[in-house]
């Protein structure tokens, strides 16, 4: 996966509580076997009207938020089913970082496994960011994973926590497969020392 170290990104607001994974990527779009191509289906029932046109009442559809890299959300984002398609859809849409007061546990882990950074900030900080995003056209934040800091355009710094293992995986772009391949030499040595046992045909 792509390493995540720093990001300067346009922020889009999603001012809704308990956004579940079926709202992030509705079930009818889960037939694809690839990890890509889900971006157009993100928040489908909210983004589009019945005739397929963009819903002008859905805040993220506003031209000022097109091309956003960071999604600002509310409590319990990503609740519901454990479908990994939810972070796939967000990533395919262009979101690399999520900021909220809390995330559903499985969704949080799925984001980290796919190279996306979920940041937990205090409710007061989140509310201030929502106000700033709406008041400022082209509002951007600087995210520094290695320093564990979010910097606002006014120079304010907001600290966030992340466990050491997840941080290192994101910084280096390690998913489960690439971490396993770091031990390829040891794996090959073991396989060489333990040749495959061919079963004896039964009589």
Asked if the structure places residue 200 within a domain, the reply is no
Has residue 99 got a pLDDT over 80?
yes
Asked if the structure places residue 201 within a domain, the reply is no
**Token pair for residue 47?**
């983004």
pLDDT band at 104, cuts 50/70/90? very high
pLDDT band at 189, cuts 50/70/90? low
- pLDDT of 34 reads 85
Has residue 188 got a pLDDT over 80?
no
Task: Report the number of distinct structural domains present in the chain.
Answer: 1
- pLDDT of 177 reads 65
- Tell me which residue range forms the domain holding 15: 6-193
Asked if the structure places residue 17 within a domain, the reply is yes
Asked if the structure places residue 13 within a domain, the reply is yes
Asked if the structure places residue 98 within a domain, the reply is yes
Percent pLDDT > 70 in the chain is 89
Has residue 203 got a pLDDT over 60?
no
pLDDT, tens only, 152-182: 999 999 999 999 999 999 999 987 666 665 6
Beta bridge partners of 100: 120
pTM of the model: 0.88
- Enumerate helices (H) and strands (E) in the chain, giving the number of each: 8, 7
CB-based contacts of 79-83 (< 8 A; 24+ apart in sequence): 79/18, 79/19, 79/20, 79/21, 79/104, 79/107, 80/20, 80/21, 80/22, 80/23, 80/104, 81/20, 81/21, 81/22, 82/21, 82/106, 82/107, 82/110, 83/21, 83/25, 83/30
Asked if the structure places residue 93 within a domain, the reply is yes
Calculate mean pLDDT across residues 35-64: 96
Asked if the structure places residue 79 within a domain, the reply is yes
Q: Phi/psi of residue 97, each to 5°?
A: -145, 140
Domain of 160: which CATH number?
Answer: 3.20.19.10
Asked if the structure places residue 138 within a domain, the reply is yes
């Amino acid at each position: 996966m792509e390493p995540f170290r720093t990001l300067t990104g346009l922020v889009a607001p999603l001012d809704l509580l308990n956004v579940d994974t079926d709202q992030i990527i509705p079930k009818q779009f889960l037939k694809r076997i690839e990890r890509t191509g889900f971006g157009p289906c993100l928040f489908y029932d909210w983004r589009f009207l019945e005739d397929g046109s963009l819903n002008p009442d859905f805040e993220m559809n506003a031209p000022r938020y097109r091309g956003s890299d960071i999604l600002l959300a509310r409590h319990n984002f990503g609740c519901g089913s454990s479908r990994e398609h939810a972070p796939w859809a967000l990533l395919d849409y262009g979101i690399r970082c999520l900021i909220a007061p809390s995330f559903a546990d499985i969704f949080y882990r799925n984001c980290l496994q796919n190279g996306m950074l979920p940041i937990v900030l205090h409710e007061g900080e989140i509310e201030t960011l929502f106000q700033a995003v709406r008041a400022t056209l082209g509002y951007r934040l600087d995210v520094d994973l290695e320093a564990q800091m979010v910097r606002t355009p006014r120079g304010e710094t907001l600290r966030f926590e992340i466990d050491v293992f997840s941080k290192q995986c994101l910084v280096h772009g390690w998913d489960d497969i690439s971490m396993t391949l770091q031990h390829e030499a040891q794996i090959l040595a073991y396989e060489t020392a333990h040749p495959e046992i061919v079963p004896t045909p039964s009589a």
